[in-house]
Amino acid sequence: MEERQMPKAHKLVVNNRKTSMVTGVLDVLSFDLNEILLETEQGMLMVKGTDLHVNRLSVEKGEVDLSGNIDSIAYSNVNQAARSNENFFAKLFK
């Protein structure tokens, strides 16, 4: 039998531009003190700022908690065909 995964609900909560909780995360592609790149159910999510940290990561639940000084948050679309193939960043950071 083929196992189907239900898409995880995606939610982004930012508190006082200091902490953030993200659900519906498929993968953490890269992170450093100034930028965190997440693949979510709703596309790629880039968080920029200073002193950024990934405090908690649960790949099974698709949840990530971030902290630091959040300056910007931006989404970019990823279509289903691109998701089925490994993208450039996933290959780069394996």
Give the residue extent of every domain in the chain.
Answer: 11-76
pTM for the whole thing?
0.74
Averaged pLDDT for residues 49-64: 94
pLDDT band at 88 (very low <50, low <70, confident <90, very high): low
Hey, how many other C-beta atoms are within 10 angstroms of the C-beta on 23? 17
Per-residue pLDDT at 80: 44
Short-list 57, 14, 51, 19, CA closest to 38: 57
Per-residue pLDDT at 59: 84
Is residue 65 within 8 A of residue 21, CB to CB? The reply is yes
